[in-house]
Amino acid sequence: MQNPILTTSAAGLALALLAGGAAAAPDWSKVPARTITVLYPGVSPIEWVMTGTEHGGARGVKKGEACSGCHDEEAADMGQKMASGEKIEPAPIKGKAGSIPVKVQAAHDAANLYLRFSWKQPPGGGPKMDAENQVKLAVMLEGNTIERADLSGCWETCHQDARTMPGAKDEKKTKYVTGGDVKTGKFYDLIQWTSKGAKHDGYVADRRVMDGGKALVDAKGEKKGDEWTVTFTRKLTGGEGDIALAPGKVYNLGFAIHDDYTHGRFHQVSLGYTLGIGAQADITAVK
């Protein structure tokens, strides 16, 4: 005769294992990857991007052309010009990498989105602006509510009056979206991992808020040899400041790496790309 207590425990364990399996990370060896080059942006806030006398691509953006459409293949060359001080960088950092090629993978199940980023550590040697973190990686998602977010990516959060921009007057001025408002859904969802082990779940609306979100399940990173790997597990739905993701839908995505102990604008950033949850996009999260 079976012991009812043991039978109940076994059933509970089986249910727990099934639940845990649903949230388990995918087999990344079977998930397609796309290499995206993040570039050093210098002083190129959205105001610069949209000024035709400064940036020739302003006309294209005004016509509805995405920045990645013109610059995807030349991101490394652009980043090198800015990192060296040849173009729109008044304070170049010696040894700063102009660009980093990053392998990006995405997957999803019924409950979660999984993102994986991997890249080789480039040479550095600049000042340690953030001595606690050799690396930080942030991802911003946007739900098709912000004008031009599908064209310019997270540049819509980058403004010339932000605190680390040349001539900025307010040391507390963070990234923001013009007219941004969490209540009306006009915001970027922000998640971040730092090499000291911190993880953040926030948003960028009228200001940047680093914490308070409910969607981020986990963020992990490690360096093996000269290669970094960072993975995020994010619920498809969360709370205030969390964009609700759904299978079959496409969203806007941008990401940034603060490499070599940097902070503020001294990062390498991606152009804007699309993320599809089981839908065709620049990056498709496979089931």
Please indicate, yes or no, if residue 121 is contained in any of the structural domains.
yes
State the 10-residue block means of pLDDT for the chain, 287 residues long: 41 40 80 98 97 95 95 96 97 95 98 98 94 98 97 96 95 96 97 98 98 98 97 96 97 98 97 98 98
Residue span of the structural domain in which 211 resides: 29-285
Please indicate, yes or no, if residue 6 is contained in any of the structural domains.
no
Q: Provide the number of structural domains found in the chain.
A: 1
Please indicate, yes or no, if residue 12 is contained in any of the structural domains.
no
Please indicate, yes or no, if residue 11 is contained in any of the structural domains.
no
Please indicate, yes or no, if residue 22 is contained in any of the structural domains.
no
Please indicate, yes or no, if residue 100 is contained in any of the structural domains.
yes
CATH number, position 83: 2.60.40.1190
3-state secondary structure the chain: CCCHHHHHHHHHHHHHHHHHHHCCCCCHHHCCEEEEEEECCCCCCHHHHCCCCCCCCHHHHHCCCCHHHHHHHHHHHHHHHHHCCCCCCCCCCCCCCCEEEEEEEEEECCCEEEEEEEEECCCCCCCCCCCCCCEEEEEEEECCCCCCHHHHHHHHHCCCCCCCCCCCCCCCCCCCCCCCECCCCECEEEEEEECCCCEEEEEECCCEECCCCCCEEEEEEEEECCEEEEEEEEECCCCCCCCCCCCCCEEEEEEEEEECCCCCCCCEECCCEEEEECCCCCEEEEC
Please indicate, yes or no, if residue 10 is contained in any of the structural domains.
no
Please indicate, yes or no, if residue 8 is contained in any of the structural domains.
no
At 24 the pLDDT is 80
